[in-house]
Chains A and B, each alone.
Chain A
């Protein structure tokens, strides 16, 4: 009698548990709706007259002053409030923005910009040479301590020629100055003296600031006086901030969001719509070409041959990644070498090369971190597996971020260390200076020839010659296998049924490019 009751109680308890977990799996399989249009733009019904949308970001902006921080969440909002002299079209090509035309070079260290006329900031101030000079002076001021200084290291100042012409001065010839101006957001001339500018931001962009309730949301509304004519039908946009990926997805499925960022690859099937676009991030391993077993180029090449990059893209990233073509550059970057091809997946050839180099059983320490970049830990662990299959003995070490940085930036170069390199300027200089150049903070080679080309390119103002130098440089780094080249990660967004939007290769989330169907 008693044991019967016991059993009944146990079953009842278990049933309750089973019921609740059952609910999860049905929704997880996409019980609500699923068309993950890869392009994300299936024009189904006509656009609505006007629309309010909600965008959920993975974190709250630090500030809405666009010049002080280097913060992706801040950019996600302020890319819609502010504009830059140079812009990029959706394909990533550099085009004039607030500038009326491409800048011209007056001399080696002076670039001249002509400005569009008749544009005003949201606060009513005119956009003119004065505000451009003030914006430049503000961001390069050492006392201002902008985290973006590394983008503008060559700029020494600016001067107004007349009301719509500005000269930007550089300390040395700087061929990528136009690309740098794509990164510098223009603020009103009065912003410099205004301590509360971040509380009441004002730009020239298609959306203007309404309110920011800290910890909760930021609201923008369409700028009725916007100079451009390519604005969609979104009249009001609310940004909310949710760090947990599962909660973001739930909000999207529950109809509380129109766009969510950083949709996890495994959740693509559950989102009403999703869109994936080549991103800026390249996970890669920096291999030590100076000492240890990896000083032998054959070992480095074997490491590249040992890893099945396509399988990683498919399995780890659900297909939302492409194989790097033997360079840490995306196709949209200036300096990308279209002639290079990824090392094939060929474990037999890898084994043979390792035998030839006499490196069988050599220990290779592979250092990574966890939780900083998408699947950072998994990538390193998978690489470790592949390496062990071709006769090397990988020692995978996952460090906490700070200790990881000690290794990444340390003088003692680790045999192999993971990094995700990102390049918002879309110009090869940044990555090549940091990781390819022997003095670079994350470089593990002592190749003086390679460094020479990178230095030369930095001040080469002839576009074709400069591109040639970069092609040469990335070619050599590919042949020498200074890196274990892996993947270019896609940015994946989840979208509501009613939204039509094609994400951009420069990762900007421009609301003016979104359309909401009725």
Chain B
């Protein structure tokens, strides 16, 4: 186990470094922050002076080694946009995104797993068909649209929840639900099919023959096996939420988290901040993956961690 962790952490470190280097190369070679930051009508001399001020006129390899040296000390430099350490800005935004994603995943699992199991007990039954239809609806709703829909219903019409912002926990409700519903829909479908697979296996017949109560048969035997793919999917949902959907949902709800920050750093051509964001997100994804691997072992002792 210890060896396994060490190995995964080392692998993860290599990936994080790789991703950071790629982002540096891509952003410096394709983008020119000076051009975007100055007004379109600025003259060539003004542009040159500005580049010199920010150090963007140095040869790319000098900038690169400078960057690597600092990155190893977790120093990404000052954000061009806010003129304070980029990592500090990212670490401020991170808990807000983790709160949203965490709350929404708990919500999604609480909704999805019982419903998924319920539908699997009588495939093709009324309840099954109703829930499958609803799930298909849920997972075909784009995040931004669902978000605006919730704003209109619960913010404007019913005025139950604040429309945007991040002051209180109430502010987190609508964005968390926006994250959770499509995820829950996907998880219902997956739980259902995993459970149907398990319930059709021969060991289930044996357990039944032993007169084990049905509730225990489903909960302790079948679901325990079905839980592995469900967990994989949940991990995947968390990663997608962190690295993708958060951009959309946080923009719609003006929730100042990591996704919102990512969009800001791109539109303001803040390469330094962008690098820090990518670094932190890569780190999160790798951590989640390792945690998932460990969790598998607890659920299914047959899995070998190597």
Contacts and interface: CB of A to CB of B under 8 A. Distances in A.
A and B physically associate: yes
B263 A243 contact: yes
B109 interface: no
A339 interface: no
Contact of A215 (B32, B38, B44, B256): B256
A142 B149 contact: no
A246 B165 contact: no
Given A24-B152, A147-B38, A405-B35, A243 B44 contact: no
Interface residues of B, number: 57
Contacts of B130: 9, 12-13
B291 interface: no
A421 B40 contact: yes
A419 B256 CA distance: 31
Contacts of B81: 62
A162 to B, nearest CB: 34
Nearest to A2: B124
Contacts of B93: 215
A43 interface: no
A433 B41 contact: yes
B246 to A, nearest CB: 14
B152 A23 contact: yes
Contacts of B54: 145
Contacts of B72: none
Contact of B254 (A5, A240, A409): A240
B129 A242 contact: no
Contact of B167 (A60, A216, A250): A216
Give the one of B49, B81, B130 with max A CB within 10 A.
B130
Contacts of B39: 70, 147, 150, 422
Interface of A: 2, 5-6, 8-10, 12-14, 16-17, 20, 23-24, 27, 32, 59-60, 62-63, 70, 142-143, 145, 147, 149-150, 153, 214-217, 240-244, 246-247, 250-251, 253-254, 256, 401-402, 405, 408-409, 419, 421-423, 430-431, 433-435, 441-442
Interface of B: 30-32, 35-44, 46, 49-50, 53-54, 81-83, 92-93, 96, 124-126, 129-130, 133-134, 137, 144, 148-149, 151-153, 155-157, 159, 162-167, 251-254, 256, 260, 263-264, 268
5 contacts: A9-B126, A247-B148, A405-B32, A405-B35, A423-B41
Given A142-B53, A150-B38, A250-B155, 17 more contacts: A23-B153, A23-B157, A24-B148, A27-B156, A150-B41, A150-B43, A217-B165, A241-B254, A247-B164, A250-B156, A254-B155, A254-B159, A402-B36, A405-B32, A405-B36, A421-B40, A434-B40
Closest 8 CB pairs of A and B: A215-B256, A13-B133, A434-B41, A9-B129, A145-B53, A9-B130, A242-B254, A150-B42
